[in-house]
Chain A
Amino acid sequence: MAESTSSAAAKQIQAAGVSIKELRKSYGSNEVLKGIDLEVAPGEVVCLIGPSGSGKSTLLRCVNLLEQPNVGTIHVGGFESTDPDVDIDKMRRKVGMVFQQFNLFPHLSALQNCTIAQTKVLKRSQADAAEVARKNLARVGLDHLADRFPDQLSGGQQQRVAIARALSMDPELMLFDEPTSALDPETVGDVLAVMRNLAKEGMTMLVVTHEMGFAREVADRVVFMDGGVVVEEGAAEQVIGAPTQPRTQEFLRRVLDPTHIDIAE
């Protein structure tokens, strides 16, 4: 048992890349994504930044088809998710998603949150699923709280359970939509630490975030979006440290110095 746990833990993360081409998405007459091209190489960590309403969440949700794109193609780990005949559920098993509001299942314990999809979707036995779940709860530092229910956990702990839940499906790509925006400041660090480790282990990650420090440190690449288009992308140091586009500069000035008031405006 100890042996199988360690060998499971040692198993290399299978990384899948994402390739988005000419993606467009409208709600009624409101075009939210206006032709997005974005590549995430296997094992790469890409942070998506941009002002509120720029379409970051919509883009992320298109990747695992929580939103249906109107035009364009998305390839995820051997699936063309925009193909009308794609097996959506099979594709989603390879793509873990972490939400701003955690969305833990409140009627299930932390452990059950991590086992339910394993048993019902992957058809793992209860024992196997529990073993995988415990391994992943340990990975986020919460194996000692496996029997707690979500309402008995702090926001940061809930978000870490949500990450363990997604990891328990052995995803090849992880999507994060502002995973720390709903947290008390003192628990943000724990969640970011878990994500940092995940990045080190070689997980492919597409992260929407306002945490510029995290993006700068962990991201291989940073993509700045505004008004439904990619305005600027490149190495984290370049986009956050020395942005070339005026819209990026303006956005970063506001985010990095929220009290700054531009008199000229």
Chain B
Amino acid sequence: MAMTVRQRARVSRSVQYGLLALAVVLFILFADWASIGKAFFNWDSAVKQFPEIITLALKNTLIYTALSFVVGLSGGLLLALMKLSSVAVWRWIATLYIEFFRGVPALLVFIAFGFGIPTAFGVRFDIYVTVMLALGMVAAAYIAETLRAGLQAVPKGQLEAARSLGMPHWRAMVSIVIPQAFKIVLPPLTNEVILLTKDSSLVYLLGLAASQYELTKFGRDGITQPNAGLTPLVIAGACYLIITVPLGILARRFESRTAKTKG
């Protein structure tokens, strides 16, 4: 018996849902819930995380992310403008910088800033400054490429119109081109913030005072307590999602908005 295309699609979809439901049922029936609960979700241990995981760890994660985003954004804008400069030397420097910081693991940059530079130059940074620079400089490399694409996506006629009105190049960039570029790169920029939020976990390398703990360090500290299991890490993970999921939704909003204004 021949089925129409639509009927066949419906059957295929039902089969896929069925298989999925079967897998879930089997997992629920045969999983060792006692052990799973003990490992990942221990109520007493979970309760012990509060309120510090919010008032301290989540707050610090947000601070580290925000600080490094400020550095990443301003550095990224500078690098993007250098990359589009008519002066070759600026382009080379920007390219070198971007290739370097995108090419090495952020972990190594953290180690360099946390231990290498203090030893080599005899300077000791405040922990917040260290994070801001290490994470910010890596972020700048990624953000630079995003912004460069955004700047190039602004039609050339915009700059020409602004220059024709007597605006100097920098003024035309500041008032006309850069605002439009930012609008274009809002979705990818939001994704950069998500990546930064997660990368702020690398701070754990630096040997923090308890008041400087962010989510990951706080969670790692939590699992060393007796009978805690991995619950503190599960809660820390949930806290990351509290930040990143809304950001993801925001990014998609921006995306559909720019798609709408284009069409």
Measuring CB to CB, which residues of chain A are less than 8 angstroms from any residue of chain B? 64, 66, 89-90, 92-93, 95-97, 99, 101, 103-107, 116-117, 120-122, 151, 162, 165-166, 169
Q: A99-B160, A105-B161 given as contacts; is B166 within 8 A of A117 (CB)?
A: yes
A92: contacting residue among B158, B165, B176, B180, CB under 8 A? B165
Closest 9 CB pairs of A and B: A117-B165, A103-B161, A93-B166, A103-B157, A97-B164, A92-B166, A121-B166, A89-B166, A107-B179
Alpha-carbon distance A97/B165, docked complex (angstroms): 8
Q: Give chain A residues whose Cβ lies under 8 Å from the Cβ of B164.
A: 64, 66, 92, 95-97, 166
Q: Give chain A residues whose Cβ lies under 8 Å from the Cβ of B160.
A: 66, 99, 103
Q: Give chain A residues whose Cβ lies under 8 Å from the Cβ of B55.
A: none
Contact B166–A106 (Cβ < 8 Å): no
Q: Chain A interface: which of B41-49, B130-138, B167-175?
A: B167-175
Q: A116-B175, A151-B261 given as contacts; is B162 within 8 A of A106 (CB)?
A: no
Q: Which B115-156 residues sit within 8 Å CB-CB of chain A?
A: 155
Contact B158–A121 (Cβ < 8 Å): no
Does B253 sit at the interface, judged by CB under 8 A? no
Q: Give chain A residues whose Cβ lies under 8 Å from the Cβ of B155.
A: 101, 103
Q: Give, as a whole number of angstroms, the nearest-CB distance from B157 to chain A.
A: 4
Does B163 sit at the interface, judged by CB under 8 A? yes
Q: Give chain A residues whose Cβ lies under 8 Å from the Cβ of B175.
A: 116, 120
B180: contacting residue among A95, A96, A97, A107, CB under 8 A? A107
Does B10 sit at the interface, judged by CB under 8 A? no
What are 17 inter-chain pairs, A to B, with CB distance below 8 A?
A: A66-B164, A89-B168, A92-B165, A93-B165, A96-B164, A99-B161, A103-B155, A103-B161, A105-B158, A105-B176, A105-B180, A120-B167, A121-B165, A121-B167, A122-B166, A151-B261, A162-B161
**Which residue from chain A places its CB closest to the CB of B262 in the assembled complex?**
A151
Q: A66-B163, A92-B164, A120-B167 given as contacts; is B183 within 8 A of A107 (CB)?
A: yes
**Which residue from chain A places its CB closest to the CB of B165 in the assembled complex?**
A117
State the interface size on chain B (CB cutoff 8 A).
Answer: 19
B171: contacting residue among A66, A90, A120, CB under 8 A? A120
Alpha-carbon distance A25/B155, docked complex (angstroms): 24
**Which residue from chain B places its CB closest to the CB of A89 in the assembled complex?**
B166
| B165, B168, B171, B175 interface centre (most CB from chain A within 10 Å) | B165
Q: Give chain B residues whose Cβ lies under 8 Å from the Cβ of A96.
A: 164
Q: A99-B157, A101-B157, A120-B171 given as contacts; is B163 within 8 A of A92 (CB)?
A: yes
Q: Give, as a whole number of angstroms, the nearest-CB distance from B113 to chain A.
A: 37
**Which residue from chain B places its CB closest to the CB of A92 in the assembled complex?**
B166
Q: Give, as a whole number of angstroms, the nearest-CB distance from B8 to chain A.
A: 43
Contact B163–A90 (Cβ < 8 Å): no
Alpha-carbon distance A96/B161, docked complex (angstroms): 10
Q: Give chain B residues whose Cβ lies under 8 Å from the Cβ of A97.
A: 161, 164
Alpha-carbon distance A97/B163, docked complex (angstroms): 10
Q: Give, as a whole number of angstroms, the nearest-CB distance from B250 to chain A.
A: 20
Alpha-carbon distance A9/B163, docked complex (angstroms): 26
Q: Give chain A residues whose Cβ lies under 8 Å from the Cβ of B183.
A: 107
Q: Give chain A residues whose Cβ lies under 8 Å from the Cβ of B176.
A: 105, 116
Alpha-carbon distance A122/B171, docked complex (angstroms): 13
Alpha-carbon distance A103/B156, docked complex (angstroms): 9
Q: Give chain A residues whose Cβ lies under 8 Å from the Cβ of B261.
A: 151
| A89, A99, A101 interface centre (most CB from chain B within 10 Å) | A89
Q: Give, as a whole number of angstroms, the nearest-CB distance from A126 to chain B.
A: 14
Q: Give chain B residues whose Cβ lies under 8 Å from the Cβ of A151.
A: 261
Alpha-carbon distance A165/B162, docked complex (angstroms): 10
Alpha-carbon distance A168/B112, docked complex (angstroms): 55
Q: Give, as a whole number of angstroms, the nearest-CB distance from B52 to chain A.
A: 43
Q: Give chain B residues whose Cβ lies under 8 Å from the Cβ of A120.
A: 167, 171, 175
Q: Which B42-63 residues sit within 8 Å CB-CB of chain A?
A: none
Alpha-carbon distance A121/B162, docked complex (angstroms): 10
Q: Give chain A residues whose Cβ lies under 8 Å from the Cβ of B168.
A: 89
